[in-house]
Amino acid sequence: MADKVQRLHRLAFVLDNSISIPGTKLRFGLDPILGLLGIAGGSGDVVGGAVGAYIVYQAAQMGIPKEVVGQMVVNILLDSLVGIVPGIGDFLDFTWKANTRNMALVDQHLTVSSTPKKGHPLFVLGITLLTILIVLGCAFLTLLLIKTIFQL
């Protein structure tokens, strides 16, 4: 399980903190870049949300408690929902770092619980479907927002 957690940490690092701004302590990752480059209907935010959903899925599979996994879903939901708002969503991608927050929740639980468990298969499936629906729903809302703006 330690290898899985380490891989998830690396993934969260690449998404949230892998690039530093020279001369400052500021860091960001691929998530805000994907958001900025995803001009076609928020496609970058969908990709970032999908990778975040993978981290949530893995946490649920590791037996992280439902309440913690729910909090992780809320982090992805906030990141994805606000991500559809031009400007504000891009700023949030640079500051919120949902994947890093989610990995902190995983670490917090793993230090409290010394015995690893396996997540209930139905819960893992349900949380996976919920997170995917959230990401796809945000993509749909983005397309709807773009359509509305161009009709003005």
pLDDT tens figures, 99-141:
999 999 999 998 876 555 666 777 777 877 887 787 777 777 7
Residue 106 forms part of a structural domain: yes
Split at pLDDT 50, 70, 90, the class of 49 is confident
Is the pLDDT at 73 greater than 70, yes or no? yes
What are the C-alpha distances in Å from 141 to residues 11, 36, 46, 81, 83?
Answer: 26, 17, 11, 8, 11
- Is 73 part of any domain? yes
- 27: confidence class by pLDDT, cuts 50, 70, 90: very high
In a domain, 27, yes or no: yes
Residue 149 lies in a domain: no
Please report whether residue 53 resides in a domain: yes
Q: Looking up tokens 């998530």, which residue turns up?
A: 31
Q: Is residue 150 part of a domain?
A: no
Number of compact structural domains in the chain: 1
Using pLDDT thresholds of 50, 70 and 90, give the confidence band for residue 38.
Answer: low
- Residue bearing the bigger pLDDT, 21 or 90: 21
Cα separation of the two ends of the chain: 52
38, part of any domain: yes
pTM for this structure?
A: 0.77
Q: Structural domain of residue 89, as residue ranges?
A: 2-144
In a domain, 133, yes or no: yes
- CA distances to 15, 64, 103, 121 from 109, rounded to whole Å, are 22, 7, 10, 19
